[in-house]
Structure 1
Amino acid sequence: MTEDVRLLMLAGDYVEDYEIMVPYQALLMVGYKVDVVSPGKKAGDKVLTAIHDFEGAQTYSEKPGHAFELNATFEEIDTDDYIGLIIPGGRAPEHLRMHPRVIEIVKAFADRPLAAICHGAQLLAAADVIRGRKVSAYPACRPEVELAGATYADIAVTDAVTDGELVTAPAWPAHPAWLAQFLSVLGATVTI
Structure 2
Amino acid sequence: MSDKKLLLLAGDFAEDYETMVPFQALTMLGYEVHAVCPDKKSGDSVKTAIHDFEGDQTYTEKPGHNFVLTYDFDDVREEDYVGLVVPGGRAPEYLRLNARVIEIVQAFNAAGKPIAAVCHGAQLLAAAGVLDGRECSAYPACGPDVRMAGGTYMDIPVDQAHVEGNLVTAPAWPAHPAWLSAFVKLLGAQISL
TM-score by length of 2: 0.97
Query: What residue is the counterpart of 2:53 in the other structure?
Result: 54
CA distance in 2, matches of 1:4, 1:171: 27
Query: What residue is the counterpart of 2:115 in the other structure?
Result: 114
Residue identity matched to 2:28: M
| Secondary structure in structure 2 of the residue aligned to 1:58 | coil
Q: What is the identity percentage for the equivalent residue pairs of Structure 1 and Structure 2? A: 63
CA distance in 2, matches of 1:173, 1:49: 17
CA distance in 1, matches of 2:60, 2:86: 21
Matching of residue 103 in structure 1 with residue 105 in structure 2: no
User: Cα offset for 1:34?
Assistant: 0.3
Matching of residue 167 in structure 1 with residue 168 in structure 2: yes
- Coordinate RMSD, CA, aligned: 0.8
Alignment of 1:1-192 (within 5 A): 5-110=4-109, 111-192=112-193
User: Cα offset for 1:189?
Assistant: 1.1
User: Cα offset for 1:4?
Assistant: 5.9
Gaps (5+ residues) in structure 1? none
CA distance in 2, matches of 1:114, 1:133: 13
After superposition, the C-alpha distances for 1:136-168 in whole angstroms (9 at most, x for unaligned) are 000000000001011111100000000011100
Residue identity matched to 1:176: P
Number of paired residues?
Answer: 190
Gaps (5+ residues) in structure 2? none
Runs of 4+ in 1 over 3 A off after TM superposition: none
TM-score by length of 1: 0.98
